[in-house]
Chain A
Amino acid sequence: MSQTFLGMPLLPVFGTGNLHASESFPKAAHRELGNAQLRANLGHATHTIRDKRLQVVSELPDWEQLRDAGSAIKESVMARLPELLEQFEKNFTARGGVIHWARDADEANEIVAGLIRETGETEAVKVKSMATQEIGLNEYLEEQGITALETDLAELIVQLDHDKPSHILVPAIHKNRSQVRDIFLREMPGADPALTDDPAKLAAAARTHLRRKFLTAKVAVSGANFALADSGTLAVVESEGNGRMCLTLPESLITVMGIEKLLPTWQDLEVFMQLLPRSSTGERMNPYTSLWTGVTEGDGPQNMHLVLLDNGRSAALADEMGRSALHCIRCSACMNVCPVYERTGGHAYGSTYPGPIGAILSPLMTGIQAEENNSLPYASSLCGACYDACPVKINIPDILVHLRGVDVDSKRGKKKIPTQMDAGMKAASWALSSGKRLGLLEKGLPLGRLAAGPDKKITKLPGIAAGWTQSRDIPAPPPQSFRTWWAKEHRGPDADGGPMPSHNKGDQP
């Protein structure tokens, strides 16, 4: 190893940018849940995509083998990351590309702005990219006097509406068709006043709006879905053709990509290009995928730049239990099946990365103590639907639980007065770690029965338990526990539950 650890900053170095919840998840969720239109839109969209995904996944006899391969490939990428990054750099550079390294959001933004400025342009077209959302590139460029024009339909909707994306694949999932029409009529210069809310008509309006920009743009900014270490190849997976426009027509292309996006070899692409489209849009294949390896003379951009972004990824990598969150290929299957996301939408998560993957990725990248990100790992009932849907088998529920542990441990000894939860958990640990103690406490069940009153239900509890009774009753406890019954009354076979009813014996169909 040529590098030395001397002088290295202590790990982890956390990420910055749009990775934080600025208010706690329960508070944000409370507000979003109050928006009936939002809930209807999300319910419709997530159910549509769930059915489509299940359909195309069930067509493949080897889906589970593909998931196993995808998971193992990503695990090996993480284990070999330094070596693969250097290999990729060498190959990309040899083919005429230029690599820039960015420690964090600010550094990446400065690099991109500098590269655009070098071209003499003040406008750039953009292909949808999570990495540039994460670093807040558009806002930064605007401050620098550079206009970044989003060209993906959903990103365009969000940008025109001065809104924030709420989903990683379909950033405008929280809007329905008539809301999109209203935004176009209000914000799109020259929009036809007779525009209907037919999605095909809306797509055609976006085509007209962006066509001139595509044909005249000199600079494009993109993300990348995959980067192949053994060849220096980059891949962008898309649907509309806006990606091809940006990746093919301008003179300069600046790609911003997280360091975890690498795949070791060309062969690995056969796995991910089967996993990604089916998991994301529920299609057998997305309409367009572009792959390019550095500069090709006479075809496509002749100035090729790649910004390799850390911004907290190395911090996530340092967490042995959590590092597999970096396997994420941004398909969004986990949010589409998540019952929490379906009801709150993406804005409640604060970060660029919403849903189950965001609930682990954001705190892993920023550290659990950043702003309100420690509320994110609790934004799940641990139902496990996300794990089943994940094409690279990220065990999101286990990592959520792990991060809850990190959160609890991070506060130990720091609070003068323990929270109700702390005190309750401590008491419960004492009571539930001995059959004798639990048995003794159960002697108090008749008291609870008394408290329940003649209706035999408890309808109001104080403190944190009030959350339960806001929408649910608790039944009156039984007069005695099972334990007591067993000791006092259980008399063995043929007594308690009754023997096998005689008329049924030998009554096999």
Chain B
Amino acid sequence: MKIALFATCIVDAMYPATAKATVAILERLGHEVVFPGGQACCGQMHVNSGYFKEAVPVIANHVAAFESDDYDVAVAPSGSCVASVKHQHPMIARSCGDRALEKRAAAVGAKTYELSELLVDVLGITDAGSQLGSWFPHRVTYHPSCHGMRLLRLGDRQQRLLNTVRGIDLIPLPEPDQCCGFGGTFSMKNADVSSAMLEDKAANITATGASLCSGGDASCLMHIGGGLSRQGSSIRTLHFAEILASTEQHPAQIAGEVQLLSGKAAQ
């Protein structure tokens, strides 16, 4: 299968390891990955902040970058960005009166998948350990991000994949369905409420005793990780793609001092 990678702007610029891991997983399964060079961003920051007019060129750019027939499906390691591509792009195009863009955006959205959705529903991955060789001997907890959970209805796909990684100790997170408080510009416009939400999320993560918190959205993980870092916590955040890509030969690179389950430091 020929798969077009939508890296998303935050992963492209801040978390390239997540995109590299996505590529590694898909290539390991024998698929061809392409990276449409015109891509930039899904535009949800603009849309969610009410700047629809400014969002239109961003959306139009994404649609132009991904409307080629030269690939079978597109994939992004982000529930939030895929939800934006699928739901917001046609909606904003329509509200700005561009029916042609609305149609093109809907066509792109129809062939765009979130990574776990692609792995489970299309590529039939049920056991990451045996089918992907995933190995990750760490104590991990997992936060399901809101947009993946509620807009894409990803259910427990990401968690199921993580559960089948060899060596992992996946600890359930209390109140997993509670938002971490990121919400894009919400974290700045309503910084106090956002911080209060983050505080509770961080406390729940800390209570698990895990050394890492995984998830499916780099933006939420940056938020959670930024909060944990500010608190002086040693708990790191890591996208689930990087855990799936991690093998004994090529273990995931984790910043900071993270204890292996065997007691050795990972780095």
The chain B residue sitting closest to A387, CB to CB, is B150
B interface footprint on A317-361 (CB within 8 Å = 1, 0 otherwise): 000010000000000000000011001100000000000000000
A485 touches B193 (CB 8 A): no
B28 touches A499 (CB 8 A): yes
**Contact partner of B130 among A475, A477, A485, A507, CB < 8 A?**
A507
A428 touches B189 (CB 8 A): no
Contact A405/B188 with A343-B197, A385-B179, A472-B230 known, Cβ cut-off 8 Å = no
| A457 interface hit (Cβ, 8 Å) | yes
| A58 interface hit (Cβ, 8 Å) | no
Max chain B C-beta neighbours (<10 A), residue from A381, A442, A507, A509: A381
Contact A482/B16 with A343-B193, A408-B49, A429-B54 known, Cβ cut-off 8 Å = yes
A498 touches B249 (CB 8 A): yes
A481 touches B50 (CB 8 A): no
Chain A: minimal CB distance from B148 (Å): 10
**Contact partner of A401 among B48, B60, B198, B229, CB < 8 A?**
B48
The chain A residue sitting closest to B181, CB to CB, is A381
A382 touches B48 (CB 8 A): yes
The chain A residue sitting closest to B57, CB to CB, is A433
| A184 interface hit (Cβ, 8 Å) | no
A457 touches B50 (CB 8 A): no
Max chain B C-beta neighbours (<10 A), residue from A344, A472, A499: A472
| B176 interface hit (Cβ, 8 Å) | no
| A41 interface hit (Cβ, 8 Å) | no
B46 touches A384 (CB 8 A): no
A interface footprint on B173-196 (CB within 8 Å = 1, 0 otherwise): 000011101111111111111111
B132 touches A383 (CB 8 A): no
Interface size on A, residues (CB 8 A): 84
Within 8 A of B (CB), among A467-509: 467-468, 470-475, 477-478, 480-483, 485-486, 490, 492-494, 496-501, 504, 507-509
Residues of A within 8 A of B182 (CB): 381
Max chain A C-beta neighbours (<10 A), residue from B51, B183, B223: B51
B146 touches A477 (CB 8 A): no
Residues of A within 8 A of B193 (CB): 26, 29, 33, 340, 343-344, 379
Residues of A within 8 A of B38 (CB): 434-436
B222 touches A482 (CB 8 A): no
B interface footprint on A435-474 (CB within 8 Å = 1, 0 otherwise): 1111000100100000000001101000011111011111
Extra pairs beyond A339-B181, A428-B45, A471-B227 (14, CB < 8 Å): A29-B190, A378-B190, A381-B187, A383-B150, A429-B46, A429-B57, A432-B61, A435-B37, A435-B39, A436-B38, A438-B41, A497-B27, A498-B24, A501-B133
Sampled A-B contacts (6; CB under 8 Å): A381-B183, A401-B47, A425-B49, A467-B194, A481-B13, A492-B27
